[in-house]
Amino acid sequence: MLSLSRPSIGEEELKAVGEVFKSGWLGMGATVKKFEDELKQLIGVKNAIAVYTGTSALHIAMDACGIGRGDEVIVPSLTFTASVQAIIMCGASPVFCDVCEDTLNMDIDDVRKKINKKTKAVMPVHFSGLACDMDALMELKAGHGVRIIEDAAHAVGSSYKGKKIGSIGDITCFSFDPIKNITCGEGGAVTTNDDGLADTIMKKRILGIDKETWVRYKEKRSWFYDVTTSGFRYHMSNINAAIGLEQLKKFGRFNERKKYIVKKYDGAFKGIEGIKIPHRNYEETAPFNYIIMVEGSRQEIMDFLESKGVGTGVHYLPNHTQQFFKKYYTKLPVTEKVEGAILTLPLYYDMKEGDVELVIASVKEWFR
């Protein structure tokens, strides 16, 4: 069965992890710092703080911004549940907004209708790596005084009008789990140009301690520290950072290969009755996954593709219809329209040409 996605890892990552083992320093240390420095270079941002997961990145970012009980955060329902769970973890309430049918990104007009005195932040999700309308979002920030906390789990390497995602808004959160554009095994990061905010997040990721352990051990009084704020155990380890450093070296070719596959898919499926292709920006998007919208019984299509050896998925089941979030339910016409139509097809760096052709031929066979 051809899987939807999988990481591309090899001897380089294994060797890098081995070097960390030899060093004896497995926790957060100099390797994490190097990964952060390389990530800053890729994105073009002043500060990058590596954390344990993408979800912890979202949580710590909101916590550092003072978001808590009684506050509201506007978020699209069509996203992985991590976005919403991070809001709940802060004690705040998610306010679900609709998406645009052509991009599957948040509908800014709907966001404007839902901003009120309780709104402390707007969380755009750069769906499949396609950047949201950052100009409009920054206007919302200026006009309403809300934080823009970007969920860029899909968008490592993507750009908006020539600027990398992660360098534009208040604060941006990335994920490096096994299937993202680059992986650390598990990991995430927060980027910001706000030095004060970055300093707060760096302390919060290690239980509010003012000095990281590996820095303290370089000093005479290595045992001394001061707890200056609330915090979490969210730091990244040298093991994960070592994997990430090798992945960053490969990112360029990962991205170009995935773009090639996306373009080939789009060219093959364009004009087929029963398939709608969402808007793509080939120049500025580092594609995370490949989604089309289909007519007819999606489950029958998925079953047929599976019989041909092609794995499929659905990204995502809307959060406003999930049992745990039912008290936040609101009517979202576009989200509910596309919910039954979105279909995810295989996309990853190591797909062979035969794999790509199998997907194309199988989809065409069904729609014939």
Catalytic residues: 180
**Under a CB-based contact definition with an 8 Å cutoff, are residues 337 and 100 in contact?**
no
- Angle (CA) 267-268-273 rounded to 5° is 110
Name the nearest CA neighbour of 247 among 167, 164, 160, 180: 180
Least Cα distance to 146 among 85, 191, 95 occurs for: 95
CA distance 229 to 200: 8
Q: Measure the CA–CA gap between 298 and 305, rounded to whole angstroms.
A: 11
* DSSP letters for 138-154: HHHHHHH--EEEEE-TT
Q: Dihedrals φ, ψ of 128, to 5°?
A: 60, 15
- Which distant-in-sequence residues (6+ apart) come within 8 Å of 90 by Cβ? 59, 62, 63, 67, 68, 71, 73
Tokens for 39, please give them. Answer: 């990530």
The owner of tokens 């070592």 is 242
| Neighbour-count burial of 250, counting CB atoms closer than 10 A to its CB (0-12 exposed, 13-18 middle, 19+ buried) | middle
The C-alpha atoms of residue 190 and residue 52 are separated, in whole angstroms, by 11
With H, G, I as helix, E, B as strand and everything else as coil, classify residue 333.
Answer: helix
- Under 8 Å between Cβ of 176 and 182: yes
Contact 351, 93 (CB under 8 A): no
Secondary structure element (H or E) that encloses residue 296, with its range: none
Q: Which residue has the tokens 């083992």?
A: 21
Q: Read off the tokens for 318.
A: 């809307």
